[in-house]
């Protein structure tokens, strides 16, 4: 039973990161698969406790204690009971802080369990991309009615740039989840990663995700994960595999040729608009203004202001957007927690081992979007933070 439970918990956690299903109708911040996965994984802390290192135990306990005290301080300051959104937000952080060290200990000790987790992430990304077809077949309203699509899942249009989200809430969030197929794929591939099926599958999923969402940040993160894997290969003195590189180039060239010859109906104007210089400058200016506004809010409340939903903020809806996961965490959970998390993520990436592509991908996505609110990326942030204490893992 113990082995079966560990496997089930890892599969649920992996799927919960990338597959956005079981969304509560009418609740933007409602429970979903990632929340259910965290509930299932809570007993894993007790199951793995004896096998965890002293550092992992101390880190997890300290994180849970700090987050619980922060929650109590916020609740006492507000003087009201937590609503459903508050409870879901804080549950995600506290549960993830406890579960992540146990999961990190398990996947570092057991290679097969590590492969199981990343295989679930890869499969979840493929399933996430497949929800485009489900939306077209059934209709978005029908899916929202039964809780299988977020109320904010829409087709957004800016000029000629049609950006299609999945059952998730926003194109950028959708691409961040789908793009996780790239680090998962290269980690599963091992040493001969360049031409392995998991690598090619991860890259293909990321490209298809970008075609629909036009999310530059998610695609950049996928590219950074591949570059990180190349650096890891140099670090571990892997032999170059010319045939693998040639195969990857041929697959890419075949895809481009298919597009040019009209096998696929691709509107080039959509892509050109996303990389237009004037549009990029305008977008960057907006991001800088948003970051500055969030920094001001953090300086006013360095211990964090807790969760604030869009409905609660009313006319100040824009204040709930940070376009940066670490700034969002500083505004909600507190500056100290955000700085510690950023430091652990940088430390984890600096290991330059088999798990470095995941750390680099997470760093890139969190710097481009405020993803530290959904259960999947909250857990992933805590997991990468816990993995910072690892010894380097050979590819």
For every residue of 41-78, DSSP letters joined together read HTTHHHHHGGGS-HHHHHHHHHHHHHHHHHHHHHHHHH
pLDDT digits (tens, 9 = 90+) for 160-176: 455 556 666 678 888 99
Tell me whether residue 146 is exposed, middle or buried, using C-beta atoms within 10 angstroms of its C-beta: 0 to 12, 13 to 18, 19 or more.
Answer: exposed
Given a contact cutoff of 8 angstroms between Cβ atoms, the answer to whether 171 and 214 are in contact is yes
If phi over 0 gives left and psi between -120 and 50 gives alpha, with beta otherwise, what is residue 214?
Answer: left
If phi over 0 gives left and psi between -120 and 50 gives alpha, with beta otherwise, what is residue 301?
Answer: beta
Q: What is the pLDDT of residue 183?
A: 97
For residue 215, the tally of other CB atoms under 10 A from its CB is 26
Q: Quote the tokens at residue 147.
A: 């809780």
Residue with tokens 């571990």: 236
pTM for the predicted model, two decimal places: 0.86
Mean pLDDT confidence for 356-366: 96
Q: What is the pLDDT of residue 31?
A: 56
Mean pLDDT confidence for 37-43: 94
The proportion of the chain whose per-residue pLDDT surpasses 90, expressed as a percent, equals 44
pLDDT digits (tens, 9 = 90+) for 246-267: 665 565 555 555 544 444 444 4
Q: What is the pLDDT of residue 199?
A: 92
pLDDT at 313 over 80: no
- CA–CA separation, 238 and 191 (whole Å): 7
3 state SS of 262: coil
Select the more confidently predicted residue: 79 or 349: 349
Select the more confidently predicted residue: 27 or 131: 131
- CA–CA separation, 284 and 336 (whole Å): 27
Exposure b/e, 26-64, CB count within 10 A at least 16 = b: ebebbbbbbbbbbebbeebbeebeeebbeebbebbeebb
In whole numbers, what is the pLDDT of the chain averaged over residues? 81
pLDDT digits (tens, 9 = 90+) for 114-140: 999 999 999 999 988 887 777 777 777
Q: What is the pLDDT of residue 124?
A: 93
Distance (Å) of CA 145 to CA 150, 151, 153, 159, 350: 10, 9, 12, 30, 45
Confidence of residue 299 (pLDDT cuts 50, 70, 90): confident
């Amino acid at each position: 039973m113990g082995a079966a439970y560990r496997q089930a918990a890892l599969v649920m956690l992996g799927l919960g990161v990338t597959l956005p299903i079981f969304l509560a109708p009418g609740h933007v911040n409602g429970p979903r698969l990632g929340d259910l996965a965290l509930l299932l994984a809570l007993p894993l802390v007790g199951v793995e406790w004896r096998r965890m290192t002293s550092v992992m135990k101390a880190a997890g306990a300290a994180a849970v204690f700090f987050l619980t005290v922060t929650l109590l301080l916020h609740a006492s300051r507000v003087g009201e009971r937590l609503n459903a959104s508050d409870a879901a937000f804080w549950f995600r952080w506290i549960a993830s802080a406890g579960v992540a060290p146990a999961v990190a200990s398990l996947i570092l000790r057991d290679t097969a369990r590590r492969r199981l987790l990343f295989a679930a992430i890869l499969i979840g990304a493929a399933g996430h991309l497949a929800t485009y077809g489900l939306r077209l077949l059934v209709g978005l309203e029908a899916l929202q009615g039964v809780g299988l699509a977020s109320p904010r899942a829409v087709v957004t249009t800016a000029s000629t740039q049609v950006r299609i989200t999945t059952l998730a809430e926003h194109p950028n969030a959708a691409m961040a989840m789908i793009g996780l197929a790239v680090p998962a794929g290269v980690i599963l591939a091992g040493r001969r990663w360049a031409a392995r099926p998991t690598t090619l599958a991860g890259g293909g999923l990321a490209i298809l995700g970008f075609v629909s969402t036009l999310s530059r940040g998610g695609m950049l993160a996928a590219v950074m994960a591949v570059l990180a894997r190349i650096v890891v290969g140099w670090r571990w003195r892997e032999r170059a595999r010319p045939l693998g590189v040639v195969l990857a180039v041929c697959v890419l060239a075949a895809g481009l040729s298919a597009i040019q010859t009209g096998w696929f109906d691709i509107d080039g104007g959509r892509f050109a608009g996303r990389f237009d210089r004037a549009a990029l400058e305008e977008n960057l200016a907006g991001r800088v203004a948003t970051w500055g506004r969030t920094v001001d809010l953090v300086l006013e409340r360095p211990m964090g202001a807790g969760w604030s939903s869009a409905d609660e903020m009313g006319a100040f809806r824009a204040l709930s957007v940070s376009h940066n996961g670490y700034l969002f965490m500083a505004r909600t959970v507190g500056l100290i927690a955000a700085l510690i998390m950023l430091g652990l993520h940088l430390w984890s990436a600096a290991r330059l081992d088999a798990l470095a592509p995941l750390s680099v991908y997470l760093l890139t996505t969190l710097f481009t979007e405020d993803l530290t609110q959904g259960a999947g990326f909250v857990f992933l942030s805590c997991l990468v933070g816990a993995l910072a204490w690892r010894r380097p893992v050979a590819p």
